Amino acid sequence: DDARLAEELRRMDGASYGRYKSLTGDWSFPDFTLTVERVQSDPFAPPSRVAVRVPAEVAELPDHAWRDPVRRRATADYLVRRAHRELKGARLRIDAGGQQVIARASGRIRDGAVELRLGIELPGHGRRIDARTAERELCERLPDLVDALRWPALDTAEATAFADSVEDTVALRDLLPGLGLVAFVADGAVLPRRSGVSDSPMEGAAVPFTAPESMRVAVDLPHAGRVTGLGIPEGITLIVGGGFHGKSTLLHALERGVYDHVPGDGRELVVTRPDAVKIRAEEGRRVERTDVSAFVRNLPTGADTADFSTDNASGSTSQAANIAEALEAGARTLLVDEDTTATNLMIRDARMQRLVHGDREPLTPFVDLVRPLHRGHGVSTVLVMGGSGDYFDVADRVVMLDGYRPYDVTERAKELAAERADADFAMPAARVVDPRSVDATARGRARVKRRDMDVLTFGEDEIDVRGLTQLVDPGQVIGVGLALRLLAEDGLLDGERTLAQALDALEERLGADGAAALGRGYAGDYALPRRHEVAAALNRLRSLRVLRST
């Protein structure tokens, strides 16, 4: 018990650091169980890992805080954030999210019991054990933390409002298909961020969102009641406007709208369909046997673009591959910003067509495909394009941002539009991945690591994930690696299933409580990724081999 742990620690004082290893295992405290899961081998190694289980009788969470999966995720997230604040200045660390509420390994509620997973830098004087400090952390700080997280000790109004807010966001997102919308931006939402490197809301100067009357939609939410805002309908929506008028800011908010945001973020009621994927050019990426023939034909190399591979894609072919792969993984809403696209894949004006035509131009621009994509396959597109009017011809709706305010300029744009004959869009071929090419092991052990939000180390490979702009949390980078590992090791990639089917099987495996199933002995922090980012990382794995595409 706790007295035993304190005693044990005192006995270790001054002993060589390695003796900390003997703490591994369970220690019962009056109010909780502490499990020492992994002990660092020296003071400079990554922190040791501990788990804390607070039984339901102690946690005293009311039913409404955890009975359904959405509120359970929200309350767990709230508790982790509370714990994070409580541990300021401690050696104990807990992984709390940023502006998004995402299932993560650090906090989980199961049958009313609260389970936390933390890191701790076990203290040393050089390479000798500093038992005094260790005792203070584990035998004082930790019980204080558990005390502070009991429902009666919480600001219960705040905790309840947190779950209510997340529940409203989820309800709003669930309403989108029935309303024929791909996204919704509430009146009053605050979209701009504090800076290019901060995800917190802009203060003071932010112009709150106001929907144009003609596109305003009203919805009823379980807690907020009636809410109005801009409904972005299925089909093709073009966002235009002068430079610096807020176009990219709106699109970024839509990218993030697949996640739930914390109260006070400003984007709590900005939602996008879960299958929305940001498309961008990504020069230099590898492509493995992807069908880009809808966009690219007759390359000067004579390569078969229905089965296209390269170790170094160009801007346009990388973007074509990104679209094809997103569709393959199940994306049915594409988000595109002129700032990060390859112009020659987006547009081709009449003069250029006269100069470079026929077989000399391998690319079919997106402007010719965006309508067939919707007509034939129900794929919607929201596109920011301030620099060319070509998309007037194909847009269902045109929204102009002027001084951060949106206006419906569809009619005016249609007066300026031209007729455009468009072809059919053939969905890219489905691929079957070679399971042996996805291997998490390096030097005989599983290796899943990350470098910031830039690189995922997976086995012997380093995957560049900088192009995956809808990864929003460092923990998700690890989550992607763990998902890849699960795909490979549990036979979800079996050499028979298509990639899309394997992703379906993955989602099924993860179920409602998502993050927990990813862990499989992984000792560190991680958060739940979407299937789209899992697929995107797999597609960027340099060892990936595709067996066949059909």
3-state DSSP assignment of residue 85: helix
Binder among 49, 247, 450, 497 for ligand ADP (CB under 6 A): 247
Q: Could you tell me if residue 246 is left (phi over 0), alpha (psi between -120 and 50 degrees) or otherwise beta?
A: left
Q: Could you tell me if residue 354 is left (phi over 0), alpha (psi between -120 and 50 degrees) or otherwise beta?
A: alpha
349 binds Mg ion (CB under 5 A): no
Piece of the chain touching ligand ADP by CB under 6 A; list 112-120, 131-139, 201-209, 309-317: 201-209
As measured in angstroms, the least distance from the Cβ of 185 to ligand ADP is 11
Nearer to Mg ion, 326 or 385 (CB): 385
Phi, psi of 224 (to 5 degrees): -75, -15
Nearer to ligand ADP, 177 or 403 (CB): 403
Q: Any residues with CB less than 8 A from the CB of 143 and at least 6 apart, and which?
A: 2, 29, 30, 31, 32
Piece of the chain touching ligand ADP by CB under 6 A; list 30-38, 246-254, 424-432, 462-470: 246-254
CB atoms within 10 A of CB 31: 17
25 binds ligand ADP (CB under 6 A): no
Q: Is the dihedral of CA 193, 194, 200, 201 positive or negative?
A: negative
Piece of the chain touching Mg ion by CB under 5 A; list 49-57, 241-249, 426-434, 511-519: 241-249
As measured in angstroms, the least distance from the Cβ of 469 to ligand ADP is 14
Piece of the chain touching ligand ADP by CB under 6 A; list 135-143, 215-223, 236-244, 449-457: 236-244
437 touches which of Mg ion, ligand ADP, none (CB within 5 to 8 A by kind)?
none
Amino acid at 527: A
| Closest residue by Cα to residue 414 from 383, 389, 387 | 389
Q: What is the C-alpha to C-alpha distance for residues 531 and 112, in angstroms, rounded to an integer?
A: 28
201 touches which of Mg ion, ligand ADP, none (CB within 5 to 8 A by kind)?
none
Size of the residue set binding Mg ion (CB under 5 A): 3
Q: What is the DSSP letter of 282?
A: -
Compose the 372-411 pattern: x for residues touching ligand ADP by CB under 6 A, - for all others. --------------------------------x-------
The token pair at 456 is 């995922």
As measured in angstroms, the least distance from the Cβ of 243 to ligand ADP is 4
H and E: helices and strands count for the chain: 15, 31
Residue whose structure tokens are 């489905």: 430
266 binds ligand ADP (CB under 6 A): no
244 binds Mg ion (CB under 5 A): no
249 binds ligand ADP (CB under 6 A): yes
Q: What is the C-alpha to C-alpha distance for residues 211 and 226, in angstroms, rounded to an integer?
A: 15
Nearer to Mg ion, 96 or 251 (CB): 251
For residues 3 and 31, is the Cβ–Cβ distance under 8 A?
Answer: no
Nearer to ligand ADP, 249 or 314 (CB): 249
350 binds ligand ADP (CB under 6 A): no
Nearer to ligand ADP, 54 or 398 (CB): 398
Binder among 339, 424, 460, 496 for Mg ion (CB under 5 A): 339
Q: Using a CB cutoff of 8 Å and minimum separation of 24, what contacts does 19-22 make? A: 19/129, 20/48, 20/122, 20/129, 20/134
Size of the residue set binding ligand ADP (CB under 6 A): 15
Q: Any residues with CB less than 8 A from the CB of 442 and at least 6 apart, and which?
A: 459, 460
Binder among 5, 52, 186, 191 for ligand ADP (CB under 6 A): 191
Binder among 99, 106, 248, 293 for Mg ion (CB under 5 A): 248
Beta bridge partners of 228: 218
Mode of pairing for the β-strands spanning 198-201 and 181-186: unpaired
Amino acid at 41: S
As measured in angstroms, the least distance from the Cβ of 408 to ligand ADP is 17
Compose the 198-237 pattern: x for residues touching Mg ion by CB under 5 A, - for all others. ----------------------------------------
241 binds ligand ADP (CB under 6 A): yes
Q: What is the C-alpha to C-alpha distance for residues 271 and 410, in angstroms, rounded to an integer?
A: 23
| Closest residue by Cα to residue 456 from 546, 533, 545 | 533
Binder among 152, 204, 243, 358 for ligand ADP (CB under 6 A): 243
242 binds Mg ion (CB under 5 A): no
248 binds ligand ADP (CB under 6 A): yes
For residues 275 and 332, is the Cβ–Cβ distance under 8 A?
Answer: yes
3-state DSSP assignment of residue 194: strand
As measured in angstroms, the least distance from the Cβ of 247 to Mg ion is 5
For residues 285 and 464, is the Cβ–Cβ distance under 8 A?
Answer: yes
280 binds ligand ADP (CB under 6 A): no
What residue ranges bind Mg ion (CB under 5 A)?
A: 247-248, 339
Residues that bind ligand ADP (CB under 6 A): 191-192, 202, 205-207, 241, 243-249, 404
